[in-house]
Amino acid sequence: MKEDSPNPGAGIFPPSSLCQIGIVVKSIDETIRYYRDVFEFGPFEIREVEYSTATYYGETAGYRGKRAFFHLGPIQVELIELKDGKTIHESFLREKGEGLHHIGFLVENLEEAKKKALAAGLKITQGFVRPDGTGFAYLDSDRVGGVVFELIKRPEKRP
């Protein structure tokens, strides 16, 4: 989409669908303590995650980790701690250290958004799709500008 596009937001995702900031950390527990004590952020929702059928650059590469979520206004902040497996988070932590990893955008249809991303010349670096079509896909958008974009299709209600 060009800067002067007559139809802004008609690309892979509408800019108004920004919903998440992802931060890769070494220790969620330590980060939560710091964010809570210094900035008074919270409450935090903590989850152990396992994605046994996740993909990493097109190959199945499951991984386990820990996530913590909190909100800053309407934006969800996701803290990401890897336990094991091959992921873009592991390579980010190894190469760059802790820090801002991605910004996430809600999409109505994950498969359609992925097709648009591929047609635009992007690659899916990592992803996971549930049988109901919900899930996520990280794009290699960081090759220019240094920030990964994530496509997110959330379930109607979380268990």
Q: Is the pLDDT of residue 76 over 50?
A: yes
CA 84 – CA 86 distance, rounded (Å): 7
Give the total number of structural domains in the chain: 1
- Cα separation, 116 vs 107, in Å, equals 12
Residue 10 lies in a domain: no
The pLDDT value recorded for residue 4 is 56
Is this structure's pTM higher than 0.85? yes
Is 116 among the domain residues? yes
Task: List the CATH number of the domain containing 127.
Answer: 3.10.180.10
Whether pLDDT at 10 is above 80: no
Is 138's pLDDT higher than 60? yes
The string of pLDDT tens digits covering residues 17-68 is 999 999 999 999 999 999 999 999 999 999 999 988 899 999 999 899 999 9
Residue 1 confidence (pLDDT): 42
Report yes or no on 137 lying in a domain: yes
* Bridge partners (DSSP) listed for residue 20: 76, 104
pLDDT digits (tens, 9 = 90+) for 79-134: 999 999 999 999 999 999 999 999 999 999 999 999 999 999 999 999 998 888 88
Assigned domain for 11 exists: no
- The domain in which residue 124 lies consists of 18-153
Is 13 within the bounds of a domain? Answer: no
In a domain, 159, yes or no: no
Residue 78 placed within a domain: yes
Is 6 contained in some domain? no
Q: DSSP E strands: which ranges in 52-142?
A: 55-56, 59-60, 63-72, 75-85, 99-106, 124-129, 135-139
